[in-house]
Structure 1
Amino acid sequence: MTDNLAARVDALEMRIAYQDETIEDLNKTITAQWKEIDRLTRELANLADRMREAEHRALAGAPPEPPPPHY
């Protein structure tokens, strides 16, 4: 019975070791994804700012629209 118990403990220790490795891999993946999300969020905000500036310049520099012809 002692051999059976030792085998079960060894099996559990191996499972824990693999689970720890899997958890660490998942943590690294999640961390990398959050960094990418943060980078993309900053880039999107930068592009939105540039778009607003371009629209403002286009509207400010455009001559007023002439009135439509009367019939």
Structure 2
Amino acid sequence: MDKDTETRIHAVEETLAHLTRLTDDLHEVIARQDAEIATLTRRVEMLMRFAAEQQAGAEGQIPLADQRPPHW
């Protein structure tokens, strides 16, 4: 192989190594964000259940979910 071909192959290998590292880093970020989203989703669901139970326990009031928004 001539020197130009070796230089080009080296550049391609270096670029591939950087892209592989970047892909791995992004995969870790996405996996962490997926776990955080799942945790936050569960917490929001728990808060919504808690709020619904609180509203159901208040007698004589229309539950907030059944009320019309003030702009209607």
One-letter amino acid matched to 1:39? T
| Aligned residue number for residue 68 of structure 2 | none
- The whole-number CA distance in structure 2 between the counterparts of 1:50 and 1:11 is 58
Higher relative contact order (CA 8 A, sep 6+): 2
Deviation at 1:2, TM superposition (A): 0.6
One-letter amino acid matched to 1:40? L
For the aligned residues, what is the CA RMSD? 1.6
Give % identity: 28
The size of the alignment, in residue pairs, is 61
Structure 2 gaps of 5+ residues are 62-72
In the TM superposition, 1:51-66 aligns within 5 A as 51-59=51-59
- The whole-number CA distance in structure 2 between the counterparts of 1:28 and 1:42 is 21
- The whole-number CA distance in structure 2 between the counterparts of 1:51 and 1:58 is 11
- The whole-number CA distance in structure 1 between the counterparts of 2:18 and 2:59 is 61
